A and B are shown apart, each in its own frame.
Chain A
Amino acid sequence: MFEELINSAGLEDIFGKVTEGERLSAEDGWKLYKNENLPAIGYLANLARERLHGDRVYFVRNQHLNYTNVCNKGCLFCSFYSLPKDPEGYVLSPSDISERMETYKDIAISEIHMVGGVNPKLPYDYYLDIVRAVKEARPGVSLKAFTMIELEQIQRISRKPMDEMLLDLKEAGVDALPGGGAEVFSERVHEQLFQAKSDSDKWLETARLAHEVGLPSNATILYGHVEQIEEKVYHLMKLRELQDETNGFLAFIPLSWHPERTALDHMPGPTGQMDLREIAVSRLMLDNVPHIKSFWIMNTPAVTQVGLWYGADDMDGSVLEYEITRNPVTNRKQALTHGDMLDMISETGRQPVERDALYRIIDQPTASRPSYMNPDANVPLEPASYMRGNL
């Protein structure tokens, strides 16, 4: 039945490939980006997702640490950075880091996510010290830290070859690398928006070295600004190519760009359909990357929840203390509770699975559908009398 709808949407050849488990081509990618029937694309992505993960949705209880906002890269799409001499710049010392860890010590978490700006003033030992500070405070918790862009800076300041430096970090306690800083693998976008930062070749090279020394990583794309469809498909193809060689990517995360408070705030941000499409197309194209994450803090909790049927099998987590983007309406930091996440997942009929940074399973909580979906549920009578009493 649904096959007919897929066919009439002009997606029958891709449907055939998806059901056969055949790899999609760049042309298929373009087609998926251009096709107007978004639910049909979600349907296909969901087939690929269910083959890998069934009904499971991974989530994490995590704390973010943004150790510095000082950055000399001046990327036009960023609202987080301060230039090196800006009075609003900050650096968290290793003891500040310990303190932040202390603040949340009674909250159950299974992942620390630590990233920052490219701050040329920080010595090599600083990076090792903050890693140790995190691990001392939370010895059992997995640490995901430093994007490929930060790693280049750390390598420069360490005066060691990249692989040796990576092994130092690993020994100090880094378990995995986040996927940020990839932006869009396009020389054109690179020139236009982030020219001070290294290009795609360098990003991919660093990722390769990290995977080779046994540090798995995530990968991202930042979409919704000036990039074009062909550039996005190229981006996915390059990641897929490297993954074939290293198998070091754990998850791919399409990042929905936020224009507010950036140099490009005159531009409209990505739409909801675009958010879902990025999730779906990346699930279909990246057949060798285990997880597709919908990052609710960037694309909103509402879109993330819907995204669980558009190819995403991971919704990140509670993100305590996330600083990089804020709620566009309230300009506040945001976080989700454990209960929020279980409710979001179970409403969609799926099974929550709590994980750590390396996707090791921590817990499989039981979850029940919300009460409004229970056909036998009656309208609760108690609040009515309570409220009548109020009048």
Chain B
Amino acid sequence: MINDIAAKIFSGERLNEEDGRRLFHHSNITELGMLADYVRQSKHQDRVVTYNIGRNINYTNVCWVRCKFCAFYRPPGDREGYTLSDKEIFTKVEELLNIGGDVPESCEILLQGGLNPKLKIDYYERLFTEISKRYPAAYLHSLSVAEIVYLAHISKISIEEALSRLQFAGLKSLPGAGAEILDPEVRNMIAYRKETVQEWLEVHKKTHRMGMKSTATMMFGSVETIEHRLKHLLKIREVQDESRLNHPGYFTAFIAWSFQPEGTELVHTKKATGYDYLRTVAISRLLLDNIDNIQASYVTQGPKIAQIALGYGINDFGSTMMEENVISAGGKSFVMPTQEIERLIKSAGFAPRRRNTRYEFVPTQ
């Protein structure tokens, strides 16, 4: 039934929207897996699965946006709202370096927080400069489009200025968080106060133009349909085409994760299944022919489905995380020690290799 699509894949021809649609309606998941694995193998020859040592630091949970799918935020003025002190942040960075070692720029710091009206550009400049100065092993893969747009807005500066000042202070690359589903209809439902589709795409393009790399994501399984997912993937592919052609930066990886309804206003939404996740990552691998790496989301899927996904186009297991507060604010989340990540990779027949945020191998001591 999908032999013609398979033929395109074997000949290296790009899949079109209709191909993607048919794949999303194709039930035989083993066929999707075999095709995605074929593409994965052609992009990553030596059966290696990488992972990254990094940690989330959720520097503030104060946020005025109130997204439907978020159980983490506290509105400004709420007694449970917090902003970490510099000292608390440094301690967290040091905890990571104790695990990750001192190879320069090898330990990923994922500073992410709410849209806190108190934190302007100077706060970030000072913090980033300080972290970069103190910790050469740290690599600031931090913030997200929403934070960039908001901090530029309240600091009364342009996005370009915000990005270049952050870059100068030590920001190395931009995580793809907040893409959710890049469709106005869907965003209007689940995150209408957040950045628009255009803003998300523009900030990443600007990031690429300035020579910073970024990642792209998709949060599926809330209110969207397959059509929205499909268009989301094609938009990402289009930006990547443009960046690869014209800019020094580009998307290093794509990460799909499923919406976690617990504790959110959409609590009655049925959680996306592992079957849906595997199908979605396989199709991402097949459609996103211009993105090198597809990352697993074991935090949302759990170790079993994340490991199975290594046969569905995934070539990277993501980060050790150390702590995770956003997804777990809703319900359970899975955080895993390096040892367990390596065991899962090995028992799927791959060699585990540590990488940095630029997807270069990190020498192990």
Which residues of A approach B to under 8 Å, CB–CB?
Answer: 1-2, 4-5, 36-40, 42-43, 46, 268, 271-276, 299-303, 305-306, 309-310, 329, 343-344, 347-350, 370-375, 377-381, 383-384, 387-388, 390-391
Contacts and interface: CB of A to CB of B under 8 A. Distances in A.
Given A37-B34, A39-B30, A375 B226 contact: yes
Contact of B225 (A276, A301, A377): A377
Contact of B305 (A1, A38, A268, A272): A272
The 4 closest A-B pairs by CB, nearest first: A272-B304, A349-B27, A39-B33, A302-B274
Nearest to B306: A272
B328 to A, nearest CB: 12
Nearest to B227: A375
Contacts of A370: 270
B6 interface: yes
A44 B183 CA distance: 38
Interface residues of B, number: 59
Interface string B8-24: 00100000000001001
Interface stretch (B83-91, B118-126, B307-315): B307-315
A375 B21 contact: yes
Given A39-B32, A271-B307, A383-B189, 12 more contacts: A1-B3, A2-B3, A39-B31, A42-B33, A43-B28, A43-B34, A46-B28, A271-B347, A309-B27, A347-B273, A374-B225, A384-B192
Contacts of A373: 24-25, 225-226
13 contacts: A2-B31, A39-B37, A39-B311, A42-B30, A271-B347, A271-B348, A273-B347, A273-B348, A329-B332, A350-B27, A370-B270, A371-B225, A379-B185
A241 to B, nearest CB: 29
A37 B37 contact: yes
Nearest to B189: A384
Contacts of A309: 27-30
Contacts of A347: 273, 275-276
Interface of B: 3, 6-7, 10, 21, 24-25, 27-35, 37-38, 47, 66, 68, 185-186, 188-189, 192, 221, 223-228, 265-266, 270, 273-276, 278, 301-308, 310-312, 332, 340, 343-344, 347-349
B24 A271 contact: no
Contacts of B347: 271, 273-274
A379 B274 contact: no
B223 A302 contact: no
Contact of B304 (A275, A348, A349, A379): A275
Contact of B340 (A268, A301, A305, A306): A268
B140 to A, nearest CB: 33
B242 to A, nearest CB: 28
A284 to B, nearest CB: 13
A387 B30 contact: no
A157 B134 CA distance: 75
Contacts of B7: 1
A274 B38 CA distance: 21
A212 B303 CA distance: 43
B227 A310 contact: no
Given A306-B278, A373-B25, A273 B226 contact: no
Nearest to A374: B225
Given A310-B30, A383-B223, A300 B302 contact: yes
A276 B28 contact: no
